[in-house]
Amino acid sequence: MSEKTLYRFPEGFLWGSSTSGPQSEGIVAGDGKTKSNWDAWYEREPERFFDQVGPENTSTFYQHFREDIQLLKETGHTVFRTSIQWSRLIADGTGAVNEQAVAFYRQVFKSIVDEGIKLIVNLYHFDLPYALQERGGWENKETVYAYERYARTCFDLFGDIVDTWITFNEPIVPVECGYLGDFHLPGVIDAKAAALVAYHTQLASSLAVKACHETHPDHRICIVLNLTPAYPRSDSKEDQDAARIAELFQTKSFLDPSVLGVYPPELVDILKKHDILPLATQEELTIIKENTVDFLGVNYYQPLRVQARSSQPSEDEPLTPHYYYEPYDMPGKKINPHRGWEIYEKGIYDIGMNLKEHYGNIEWLVTENGMGVEGEDKFREKGVIQDDYRIDFIADHLVELHKAIEAGANCKGYMLWTFIDCWSWLNAYKNRYGLIELDLDTQERTIKKSGHWFKELSQNNGFER
């Protein structure tokens, strides 16, 4: 029997999980919440959502937060991340503050902090007030300033409890899925709009950083980015170029302005070439330059494998990132058969080295990493889901994260996606990610095997493998 290795993490390393308001809270009659983009889409096209489960149900955190916070303790959390729903807090995004929402969030935040759990609060998790969506959403610069006012409101209302903030979660996702695809509203293919939405989102993030530092100089604020490393099929110049451009679109488009304060010149040149570079004032670019994040949240699920295009784009082909590269389906890759995503643990090491070498070794947290599995009920024994596959997934990634930290990466914590099985947009509850099982019919919560393992991981600040 081979000898096990002990993977011990630095003192003070944080262990926990992430969720979001729209994916966990649900809607209660009379709670004062106004409609979000997701509420409106579900009303219009419920058949687009898996099993027609919409955002009004989710995991009823609104009613059960006290019990759920106890489950945080039972699963060893020392850190927890959730989000405020803009459409819950401020009527239609720009109207009156909902006092019921203020009371709810203050209770939640105080209860978490009182348990000795570090709280990180995200301001935006794909959930735009629908009234703003109807006025052009993030294509309209008014949304930028509405968001800035919303952020300042949050800092004022909750800044006595919360001291660590996130501006946006995975801002590239609504750009790709809503303006270069049909998985978020408005579901169009429009590269010029996509570039504008990305720019406006970055400007809004930088304005929130500025507001946070002005109102609470002792607070810390970051952006959460899904840093998906792009790996070329081969060492050929063509494949290497494809990977470089893929990273420009997928990663550097938000990473560089958020951390370095400037956009990559090559990305600017590409947008200029296609006549889709957003108009930016010098004042706006100065705001981005002077208001970089204090640390970084990193979401990592899978790598991006690319190759050079097999044919030249036609003159009438609409611009998408695939104008410059094609996906590469690598033979023999390790895969999560339930989700269809590649599992490549070394990606998390490569992210750490990239941040160390090119981004000033900025402090960062893993803010999402996890494994979605459909039909977990088949793994139930004696009433508990025996999710050894999730334990292996976490441990395998932690081996690479430990290696990165040993090599000097400035990572301060690991947060799994997710705490309790949550609602996942169009996929609803198709794939389960939680340490804790949710029975949708009864709303009963049951800790999975991984939840008990995670508590030991946290208590030991490491594991043997």
Task: Name the residues annotated as catalytic.
Answer: 170, 368
Residue with tokens 């949304």: 143
Q: Which amino acid is at 71?
A: L
Question: How many Cβ atoms from other residues are within 10 Å of residue 286's Cβ?
Answer: 12
Question: How many Cβ atoms from other residues are within 10 Å of residue 433's Cβ?
Answer: 22
Q: Which amino acid is at 35?
A: K
φ, ψ dihedrals at 97, nearest 5°: -75, 135
Nearest Cα to Cα of residue 256 among 268, 264, 244: 264
CA 79 to centroid of chain Cα atoms: 16
What is the side-by-side strand order in the sheet with 230-232? 230-232, 304-307, 326-327
Cα separation, 442 vs 444, in Å, equals: 5
Residue with tokens 């303790």: 73
Cα separation, 93 vs 77, in Å, equals: 32
Which segments of 52-98 does DSSP mark as H helices, in order?
61-74, 86-89
